[in-house]
Amino acid sequence: MKTHRNHSNYEPFQPAYGLTHRHFQTMFSSLFRKQSRPKIELERFELNDGDFVECYWHHRPVKESQKPIVVLFHGLAGSFESPYIQGVMNALQKEGFNSVLMHFRGCSGKMNRLPRSYHSGDTADAKAWIESLQQRYPKSSLFTIGFSLGGNMLLKLLGEWGDSSPLCAAVSVSAPLQLDICATRMNRGFSRFYQYILLKELKHGLLKKYKKYDMKSLIALDEKGVRQLNSFRAFDDVYTGPIHGFNSASDYYRQSSAKQYLKNISTPTLIIHALDDPFMSAEILPDKDEISSSVQLEVHTNGGHLGFVSGHFLKPRYWLENRISQYFKTFISTVAK
């Protein structure tokens, strides 16, 4: 197994007492976290292909605002309802940032207008949204965070942008940098439990499209066939890949994995990862010569998938929220100059 050194001077993550196991870290927030729900303002962003995404603002700025804006991208089947999204938005507000979550197509609770959906390498919507913010709020510095699938998408976008990125800094958390390896890992052992939960959501969303579109003619599978899909790879082979222009799941994974884009990133970027993440294995992590000098790879022994719960299980602290806020704050004085 590859070993990776923590390149950050920041205090490494220490798991909460009683929550060292990867699955406890991964599931704790979803099962037990209680927090205040951020007040949001909805903005529907129209896309060039006739579709839309819904964006949830926590303190939407006025045009002349100079307050920094953080754009969030959730994980697979995630949304504003995801505990990690609400927690980070609350934490950012306390540190002086406005924030906005861009839901991927169909993830806000409203079905999108087209037979297609979203995927791990679909950077066009995020690019359009960020560039619109740059035009509308020219005095605000822009930052981004991508979680899991959203992290892979964000890193791919940063690599595609290269030197032309409008962002001050970015953070990716628990990103599946090599999708093929992650799809295989999710179909093994206890990870199949997570696959079952997420796949159930994906199939539910796809089945709703059968009521509006002739999906059988588009993907050569009827509703019964959709219900029988039992892995991400199977789902991506019949729907995600073909509907988005890929030849197969393997072709989709190959073209959409962010690892191959890391060496082209010019935006200061922090990648946070846990070696015990049950959604993937350590072989997805890049070697030093596979990342640019703008990328800081921070690998922790524990943390699970989007977990990183510290403190004590009776009094948990959510380490990611402070880590991300502090990372972004290091760029504020630089931007102000």
148 is catalytic: yes
- R_g of the chain, CA atoms, integer Å: 19
| Distance from C-alpha of 313 to C-alpha of 258, rounded to nearest angstrom | 34
- 124 phi and psi, to 5 degrees? -60, -45
277 is catalytic: yes
| Distance from C-alpha of 99 to C-alpha of 21, rounded to nearest angstrom | 31
* 275 neighbors 299 (Cβ within 8 angstroms): yes
| Distance from C-alpha of 37 to C-alpha of 190, rounded to nearest angstrom | 31
| Distance from C-alpha of 41 to C-alpha of 120, rounded to nearest angstrom | 26
| Distance from C-alpha of 167 to C-alpha of 170, rounded to nearest angstrom | 7
- 169 phi and psi, to 5 degrees? -165, 160
Amino acid identity of residue 58, one-letter, is H
DSSP state letters, 55-81: EEEESPPPTT--S-EEEEE--TT--TT
Could you say which DSSP state residue 164 is in? G
**Structure-block tokens of residue 9:** 């001077």
Q: Could you give the 3-state DSSP secondary structure of residue 269?
A: strand
125 is catalytic: no
User: Catalytic one among 122, 236, 276, 277?
Assistant: 277
| Distance from C-alpha of 201 to C-alpha of 78, rounded to nearest angstrom | 10
* 263 neighbors 292 (Cβ within 8 angstroms): yes
User: Catalytic one among 120, 148, 165, 172?
Assistant: 148
Closest to 180 in 3D by CA, of 286, 288, 256, 287: 256
Q: Count CB atoms within 10 A of the CB of residue 231.
A: 17
Torsion of CA 60, 64, 65, 68, to 10 degrees: 90
Q: Please work out, in degrees rounded to the nearest 5, the angle formed at the alpha carbon of residue 323 by the alpha carbons of 194 and 281.
A: 35
Residues with catalytic function = 148, 277, 305
